[in-house]
Structure 1
């Protein structure tokens, strides 16, 4: 089975500091784009743990999740890969200066929300923009709407 034959489950964080959003700059299919810290959920890893791990690996920030922003779907135009993203709202707790960034990340920066929505920065996918719009509109869901991962003996 090819990786395009099933959805890719990813977790991301939207971290705001007043009107600035923590974003990461990366290359996607040869194009430099901006994204929320995000990445694939590993086998056996729950969504919240994945989001916290990805934030640290891509931005050097230890974060604390506060809400679920939403679940988002998109089929990548160039690759045909179907992505399913759980996006969490989080607070930046600590900048871990010596944390090593993922090799794919060029930089992490705090960018103005209005400039991101105005198209001043190329975004990785329509999901990124929709997350920003939903955040700006005040969309929030409690973290407890996601149940903890069950073990095989509990299912």
Structure 2
């Protein structure tokens, strides 16, 4: 069997104690996730995080740091994902912009509002990334070398 880990990015965006999430349809169920997605050919990790956030939420963001790098194997399908999670601040909203297929909204929640709905998390990484963002440290963007 050939093992092919998937390289993904995610972005934790906070504004005054509230976090931007993606509400998406996955396997017939509405779930919450950070704006996240796969790295595309000829794209840097930073570019991927900015692009995925815009495509999934309609928000432009400015990356501010790195929350962490995670290795996660999805129990549903056995696929392994390497997730580079960035922190960012929202800079401009484009409410007229159509969101990616399968995305039904981009709600803002407090940490506790998210924590109260574990059945709606796409994976355990959703709350973990928020908690590790809050606990710190947030690492310099310089740790990501293009």
For residues 10-42 of structure 1, what are the alpha-carbon distances to aligned partners after superposition, in whole Å with 9 as ceiling and x for unaligned? Answer: 111100011110001012222211000001110
Q: Structure 2 CA distance, aligned partners of 1:81 and 1:124?
A: 14
Query: Residue 61 of structure 1 contacts residue 92 of structure 1 at CA under 8 Å; is this kept in 2?
Result: yes
State the distance in 1 between where 2:55 and 2:48 align.
10
TM-score with structure 2 length normalisation?
A: 0.93
Instruction: Select the structure of larger CA radius of gyration.
Output: 1
What SS does the aligned partner of 1:79 have? coil
Q: Which residue of 2 aligns with 1:83?
A: 81
Structure-to-structure mapping, 1:1-155, within 5 angstroms: 5-119=3-117, 122-148=120-146
- The structural deviation recorded for 1:120 is 6.0
Deviations 1:76-127 (A, max 9, x none): 1111111111110000000012222001201101111112123366111011
Q: Is the 8 A contact 1:117 1:132 kept in 2?
A: no
TM norm structure 1: 0.88
Gaps of 5+ in 2: none
Give the whole-Å Cα distance in 1 for the aligned partners of 2:95 and 2:12. Answer: 20
Coordinate RMSD, CA, aligned: 1.6
When the two structures are aligned, how many residues end up with a matched partner?
146
Residue 6 to residue 120, structure 1, CA distance change in 2 (3 Å): closer
Q: Contact conserved, 1:34 with 1:121, CA < 8 A, in 2?
A: no
